[in-house]
Amino acid sequence: MDIEARPIGAVLPAIGGKGTPETGLNGPLIDALPILDLAKLPTRLDDTTLGQLEKIASSPLPALPPCGDRHFIQCIRVMKAALPRRSADDLSGELLVAAYQRLLGNFCAEAISFLSEHALRECRWFPSIVDCLAILDRWERQDAIYQRSAARRAQWEHQARFDEASDLLRSGSIGPDEIEIWPDRWLRILECQGLLRRADDGTYQIAAKWRPFQQKNEQATTDHGHKAIG
């Protein structure tokens, strides 16, 4: 399946959390690729839904713009007001804010909000730059979390389809014509499992040990047809 590579921000709004104009995650939703509520998806997916999940999973994430000055300064001032400093000789006031902004200002607004919230919850002292980077290392953008969940859900559906095909093959309920349209990856795996064998012409055939099941089912179908006619 050909997947068009488009920035996920072009097709996804903010997923979970609070989007702000500075995050770049509240753009218009493209009708061709609507947002999906993964929690409400049925157990099995149709081809359309599966295709949407694959597009979401493969779309590159856009670079997030740096946090705006106002929001950054507010977050640092909140931490500075709530948390005591270890040393009175360190930078203070605007110089401190400027130093932190120079080293941390490349993070987006949501990341800086995460930093401020977790610093207030976890730190006994005003965090150093190293402390701030350690907290920011735990932050993850919401669209990346959603994208990973979409990829995992699509993978589950592909696995379920493969398992169904494998079971049909083992039970003799499927013939050579159906096998021809299966994905190459399935055919290679089933060959390794001994369910299929590859002929000299490159086509895949049902392995000899599974043919009796297929022939038995074909005979049963034929007998049923004769009884119906009789």
Task: State pLDDT tens for residues 211-230.
Answer: 554 555 444 444 444 454 55
Indicate if the alpha-carbon torsion angle 73, 77, 78, 79 is positive or negative: positive
Q: Which residue has the higher pLDDT, 36 or 208?
A: 36
* Six-digit token string for 21: 């104009």
pLDDT at 21 over 50: no
* 221 lies in the same domain as 177: yes
* 186 lies in the same domain as 159: no
Residue-wise pLDDT tens digits, 179-203 = 888 999 999 999 998 889 888 888 8
Residues 45-57, buried b or exposed e (16+ Cβ, 10 A)?
beeebbebbbbbb
Structural domain harbouring 92: 69-136
**CA atoms of 164 and 154, how far apart (whole Å):** 16
φ/ψ of residue 204, rounded to 5: -105, 140
The reported pLDDT for the residue numbered 90 is 57
* 124 lies in the same domain as 25: no
The reported pLDDT for the residue numbered 60 is 86
Final residue of a domain: which of 121, 136, 151? 136
* 94 lies in the same domain as 6: no
For residue 21, which of 82, 61, 89, 71 has the smallest C-alpha distance?
71
The alpha carbons of the chain give a radius of gyration, in whole angstroms, of 28
* 131 lies in the same domain as 188: no
* 126 lies in the same domain as 75: yes
- Answer whether 36's CB lies under 8 Å from 56's CB: yes
Domain of 119, CATH number, reads 1.10.8
* 159 lies in the same domain as 176: no
For residue 107, what are the contacts with CB-CB under 8 A and spacing of at least 6?
66, 67, 115, 136, 139
* 127 lies in the same domain as 98: yes
**CA atoms of 66 and 20, how far apart (whole Å):** 12
**CA atoms of 192 and 208, how far apart (whole Å):** 14
Q: Which residue has the higher pLDDT, 21 or 71?
A: 71
The reported pLDDT for the residue numbered 63 is 87
Residue-wise pLDDT tens digits, 58-79 = 888 888 999 999 999 999 999 9
Q: What's the number of domains the chain is made of?
A: 3
* 88 lies in the same domain as 52: no
For residue 178, which of 196, 152, 192 has the smallest C-alpha distance?
196
Residue-wise pLDDT tens digits, 86-115 = 765 556 678 888 999 999 999 999 999 999
- DSSP H helical segments within 38-141, as ranges? 47-58, 69-82, 93-104, 109-122, 129-136
Pick left, alpha or beta for residue 17 (phi over 0 → left; psi -120 to 50 → alpha; otherwise beta): left
Residue-wise pLDDT tens digits, 105-162 = 999 999 999 999 999 999 999 999 999 999 999 999 988 888 899 999 999 999 999 9
The reported pLDDT for the residue numbered 92 is 67
* 111 lies in the same domain as 201: no
